[in-house]
Structure 1
Amino acid sequence: MRELTADGVLSDEQLIRAADPAAELFHLAEEITKGPEHRLPDGFSFRDKDGTHRDHVRLQWWNADARSWRDIAISVPVLADLPDAPLPGSLVAQTYPAHERPVFFGHYWLNGDPVLQGPNALCLDYSAGKDGPLVTYELHPGEMMLSPDRVWVHAIPV
């Protein structure tokens, strides 16, 4: 995306192209906003929460400790449907390293009590668009590792 934009911001024309499934920008925008997906090994698939048959999984790209498909997949109702096999090295290499600067993200519609997704990763969206809370973090200058005691949970008024 950085190679296609001068300053990291899409022009009006690029924004229009990003809505076209035939355009490279569409696929880049999809991955940036929804996260990466990867095809499961041959013979494996699962049914999502709506019963749709899927052979690709959305990845916990922040999970540098992931070693199997069950470790790295997200939004899979029954993890036992996935192989408990080692991930390809190329996939492990794409995870966000635990020593990198903190990253905050959303669009994962997590549930339960908000927790850190990694030592340097926090999802801010716990279904805030429905009935879940919005999450914020009190980041201190220069901080490289996150602390659970600075995660703030805000109830959305109904």
Structure 2
Amino acid sequence: MALVDARMPRMDGVELITRLAAKHPAVAAIVLSTFDEDEYIFGALRGGAVGYLLKDCSPDELVAAVLRASRGETVLSSPVAARLVANLRRTPARGAFSGEDLLSGRELEVARMVAAGAANREIATRLHITEGTVKNHVSSVLRKLGLRDRTQLALRLTERRS
């Protein structure tokens, strides 16, 4: 078993879990973190984590999760499970636009709002996040999709709908 934090000084938890799963697949990794952001949750699970718990879980919940994970079960705290279900419900079927599978649920939300012409402040207000977080998501989306700017992003999303 490995309990891993999502954010660590020299290497983030997602990278550690990905390396751990590749080199030591028998080690079950659970993320124990204060961060319930899509990027961490889905990155860790894609990387090979068998669970994701928030640090506000009780000691009894943590012990039970470790025991379940050691038996091969997946363990998710209730808020994380809710985010996972919400993400599945809001994400359209694959193929909606090229590159969709590269984006987290939150990045996809932000990308769609950019395509609809929303400004960073408006996106931040609607999603209850800071403008800085919106800027980070937009930058990440542009990088992942190999685009130069918001205009290219908007065109990419709207041309796939028509």
Same fold, TM exceeding 0.5?
no
TM-score, scaled relative to structure 2: 0.26
Give the number of the structure whose residues are more often helix, by fraction.
Answer: 2
Relative contact order higher in (CA < 8 Å, ≥ 6 apart): 2
Give the number of the structure whose residues are more often strand, by fraction.
Answer: 1
TM-score, scaled relative to structure 1: 0.26
